[in-house]
Amino acid sequence: MANPKLLLISGSLRKGSYNRMLLAEAAEAFGPAEISDGSLDLPLYDGDLEEAEGVPDAVKHLAQQIKDADAVIIGAPEYNKGITGVLKNGLDWISRVPGAAFKNKPVVVVSASAGRTGGETAQFMTLSCLTQLQARLVPGTAVLIAGAMNAFDDAGKLKDETSRKLLAERMAALRAEVV
């Protein structure tokens, strides 16, 4: 598969998100691919809403993007030593769509956060949720970008050579799963 379908999902909605920057770096390191973005700008999960109106179209669209993708990269920021509400909400909605979108899907989670641990706790929480969703988590050393506000240059590129190398290794492993 020369041009695999790669889906990027950011656990932060903001435009200037460091996790979006990290996802862009990851996609570049992944190599040639048909890249798309999955939006987590979704309604809050509410069982009453689901019962009255069914799964929202935006959720169905995201689930289809995940099913269609050959590989998924998730950028998981850390809020209060945990997964962001936006990301957890998205994963909860996805779990409600019949057909188990993440089942056997090769996934790598990366994180950029302001603190010194680079979002380690949030990343492991995300991996735990993805295990429940039966994703195929591609193993490797965790990509955790600490002090995210100083980690990228003006062009949004990762400054630290060690982090870039680690990211390249993870992306090579992800690519090997699908190519």
Give the nearer residue to ligand FMN in terms of CB position, either 4 or 77: 77
Distance in angstroms (rounded) separating the CA atoms of residues 79 and 68: 30
Q: Which is nearer to ligand FMN, 81 or 96 (by Cβ)?
A: 81
Closest approach of ligand FMN to the CB of residue 39, in Å = 14
CB of 138 to ligand FMN, least distance (A): 22
Contact between 60 and 105 (Cβ < 8 Å): no
Q: How far is CA 78 from CA 113, 115, 168, 177, in A?
A: 6, 9, 22, 27
Task: Name the residue nearer to ligand FMN (CB basis): 19 or 163.
Answer: 19
Task: Give the DSSP H or E segment for 144.
Answer: strand 143-145
State the nearest-atom distance from the C-beta of 148 to ligand FMN, in Å.
5
Q: Tell the smallest beta-carbon distance from residue 19 to ligand FMN (Å).
A: 3
Residue least distant from ligand FMN (Cβ): 115
Residue closer to ligand FMN (CB basis): 32 or 85: 85
- Residue 20 CB neighbour total at 10 angstroms: 21
CB of 175 to ligand FMN, least distance (A): 24
Nearer to ligand FMN, 90 or 119 (CB): 119
Backbone angles phi, psi at 176, to 5 degrees: -65, -25
DSSP string, 55-99: S-HHHHHHHHHHHH-SEEEEE--EETTEE-HHHHHHHHHHHTSTT
Q: Which residues bind ligand FMN (CB under 6 A)?
A: 12, 14, 17-19, 77-81, 112-115, 119, 148
